[in-house]
Structure 1
Amino acid sequence: MTLDWYQTLFEIIDMRSFSNLWFWIVLAVVWSTASHWVLGVPYDMVLRAKRYGEDAQVDLEDMVRINVNRLLYIGRVSGLWMAGFACFFLTMLLLLGFVYHNEFAQAVFLLALPLSMVGMLSLSTARIIEAENSSGEILFKRMNRHRLYTQIIGMVSIFVTALWGMYQNMSLGPLGG
C-alpha cells in the first residue's frame, strides 16, 4: 500500500476557499483594516484630533493633505492605466469564478470588487477634500462619512460573501462534489 502524501494533505486541509477558516480570517482582517485606515490615515488620529484639537488637529490635517495629494497624483498620472488593469483583473476573476466555477477566483473576486469600490470612494473623497480645502469640522465630517460608507460596503460585502460561501458549501458538500 503506497501512501499518497498529496491526497492525504488535501483530505486533512480543505483547500476550498469558502470552507477554509483562513479565508474568513482574511475577509475579517481586510474589512477591519479598510475601515480603520480612512484615506490612509488611522481613524484613531481623527478621533484624537476631534477630542483634543490644536496640535492633534494640525497633525491630522497635514496627514490628510499628504495622503490626498498622493492619491490624486496617482489618479492623475496613472489612473486610466490602473482602471484598465483593474477592470481586466476583475473581469478575469469574474469569468474564471462564475463561468468556469473556480472557487478561489470567486473568493478573490468577492474581496476585490468591493475593495475597488472603496478605492473609487477614496479617490472621490480626496477630490472633494482638495476642492473645498477641508479642515476642522468639515474635515471630520468628510472622514466620518468616508468611514461610514466603507463600513457599509464592507457589511454588504461580508453578507454577500457569506451567503455565496454557504451556498457553495451546501451545494458542493464536504468533499468538494
Structure 2
Amino acid sequence: MDWYTTVFEVIDMRSFSNLWFWIVLAVVWSSASHWVLGVPFDMVSRARRNGGQAEADLEDLVRINTNRLLFIVDEAGLWLAALVSALLTGMALLGFVYDIELAQALFLLAFPMTIVGLLSIASSRKIQNGEGQGEVLWRRLRIHRTLVQAIGMISIFVTALFGMFQNLSAHVLTG
C-alpha cells in the first residue's frame, strides 16, 4: 500500500464526514471555555470559594496573562490583524468560492476563535483598567466564559448544519 494512500485514508480530506474533525471541534471549544484568559475556570471557583492564597494566585495569574496578551497586541497587533485577516480571507475564498472542503472546515474553526481572541483582548483591557481584583475580576471572568460558551454553541450549531448539508450534497452527487 502506498504511503500517501494510507495517510489520506487516516486523514480524510473530506472534513465534515471525518470523525477527527468533530473531535477537534469539540476539543477546541471545550478548551476555550475551560481556559478563561489562560486561567483554568476551576481556579476562579476555588478563589471565590476559599479566598486567601487561592484568590491571590488567581489575581496574579490573570495579571500575568492579560499583561502578556496586551503586550503582544500593543507590539504586533497591526501585523497580527493583517495576517489573521489575510488567512481568514484566503480560507473563506478557497472554501466557499473554490469549494475546497478542508478550507471550509478550517474557516469554520478559525473565524469564531478569532472572535474569541478579540473578546479576550477586550476583557484583558477591562481587567487592566480596574477589574483585576476580587468580585469584579470573578464577574469579568464569568462574563467572558459565558460569552465564549455562547460563541461556541453558535459555532458548533452552524458547523453541524453546514457539515450535514455538505455530507448530504456529497451523498446525493455520488449516490
TM interval, short-chain normalised: over 0.9
Match for residue 72 of structure 1? Answer: 70
Give 1:14 deviation, angstroms. Answer: 4.4
Aligned residue for 1:42? 40
Structure 1 runs of 4+ with >4 Å offset: 3-14, 174-177
What displacement does 1:15 show?
3.4
Match of 2:100 in 1: 102
Deviation at 1:55, TM superposition (A): 0.5
What TM-score, normalized to structure 2?
A: 0.93
Q: Which amino acid counterpart does residue 134 of structure 1 have in structure 2? A: G
Contact 2:13 2:102 in 1 (8 A): no
For the aligned residue pairs, the C-alpha RMSD in angstroms reads 2.2
- Corresponding residue for 2:146? 148
Q: Which runs of 5+ in 1 are unaligned?
A: none
Count of aligned positions? 175
2:136 partner letter: I
1:81 aligns with 2:66: no
Task: Give 1:125 shift.
Answer: 0.2
Please give the alpha-carbon distance, in whole angstroms, between the structure 2 residues aligned to 1:8 and 1:62.
48
Corresponding residue of 1:132: 130
Deviations 1:102-141 (A, max 9, x none): 0000000000000000000000000001111421000000
Pair 1:44–1:11, CA change in 2 (3 A): closer
- Quick check: 1:118 aligned with 2:116? yes
Of 53, 56, 59, which aligns to 2:54? Answer: 56
What is the alpha-carbon distance in structure 1 between the residues aligned to residue 13 and residue 174 of structure 2?
9
In 2, Cα distance between equivalents of 1:68 and 1:43? 15
Q: Note closer, same or farther for the CA distance 1:66–1:170 as it changes in structure 2 (3 Å cut).
A: same
1:27 has 2:25 as partner: yes
Classify 1:176/1:23 alpha carbon distance in 2 versus 1 (closer, same or farther; 3 Å): farther
Deviation at 1:7, TM superposition (A): 6.4
Runs (5+) with no aligned partner, structure 2: none
Q: Deviations over 1:80-120 (max 9, x none)?
A: 10000000000000000000000000000000000000000
TM-score after normalising by structure 1 = 0.92
Give distance in 1, aligned partners of 2:47 and 2:10: 50
- What are the Cα deviations for residues 34-92 of structure 1, in whole angstroms up to 9, with x where unaligned? 00000011111101101111100000000000001001100100011000000000000
Aligned partners of 2:15 and 2:105 also within 8 Å: yes
What is the DSSP-based 3-state SS (H/G/I as helix, E as strand, rest coil) of the residue aligned with 2:142? helix
Aligned equivalents of 1:5 and 1:50: distance in 2? Answer: 53
